[in-house]
Amino acid sequence: MAEPRPSLWERIRESSLYRSIYRTRYPDQPRWQSMVILQSLALHLHPVRVPKRATRLTYTWGLGGLSVWLFLILTFTGVFLMFYYVPDVPGAYFSIQNLATSVTFGQFMRNLHRWAAHAMVLLVFMHMTRVFLTGAYKPPREYNWMVGVGLLVLTFLLSFTGYLLPWDQLALWAITVGTNMAGSTPLVGGAIRTALLGGFSVGPATLVRWYTLHVIFLPLALIVGMSIHFWRIRKDGGISTPIYEEEEIGSHVQLAQ
């Protein structure tokens, strides 16, 4: 009796193209299903075990995930704004005005970018507060706490560098006050102020430097920091749960026995 002819999907699964993309067999068995998790970058970031307490909305309030979602919104709207923004002294202010009056959905995208930036600053700060109040900064998570503090500082810097870009009176005086505060740093204050301004006063070099920081260096630093942050959460056993639930205590006792 002749063997049944393999279906089209079975032939695709056994093809060299399929093997070159997925590197493993089709996950129809537990072994290959686990290999899919282990060989996937996105799925591998998830912890092996998530305590029931950590899934409660009233424990985390989803502040970390919402912060990441706002960063994605800022990235999308920021790329849209870069198509119309002119980073020079004569054109910066007028490009913002043109964006608000002549570009389809321009004012909406700018307002979405602005309010998402404000919301991200607030949510990252609230996330750090939640981590502190629940004791999630304690060993073995103290290193990830320091990474989170760095991400908070980068979020502040991203918001502040974007404040200058409209090049209006509010932005000019805000950057003047901010650089004067940086210039008050003992010993290195003068050098820091000169580096931020690109000279001794607010001018075209200041706009170019802060625009470069806002669209290239600070977002890249934030992406690297978030990647390390997520990786450390995975390696530290997932979201911290300083207080065990009764069923978790029972499972630990059973494992010990």
Which domains does the chain possess? 60-241 (1.20.810.10)
Place of tokens 């032939």: 11
Q: Collapsing DSSP states into helix, strand and coil, what is residue 203? A: coil
- pLDDT band of residue 107 (cuts 50, 70, 90) is very high
Cβ-based neighbours of 77, under 8 Å, separated by 6 or more: 109, 110, 112, 113, 116
The DSSP result for 60-89, as a single string, is HTTHHHHHHHHHHHHHHHHHHHHTT---SH
**Is 229 or 27 the better-scoring residue by pLDDT?**
229
Residues recorded for the chain? 257
Tokens of 185: 């740093």
CA–CA separation, 16 vs 32, rounded Å?
Answer: 17
What pLDDT sits at residue 15? Answer: 79
- Residue 81: pLDDT above 80? yes
The torsion region of residue 99 among left (phi > 0), alpha (psi -120 to 50) and beta comes to: alpha
Question: pLDDT (tens digit, 9 = 90+) per residue, 24-54?
Answer: 777 778 877 777 777 776 676 666 666 777 7
Q: What is the average pLDDT across 52-57?
A: 76
**pTM for the full predicted model:** 0.80
The DSSP result for 133-170, as a single string, is HTTTTSTTSHHHHHHHHHHHHHHHHHHHHHHHTT-SHH
Backbone angles phi, psi at 67, to 5 degrees: -65, -40
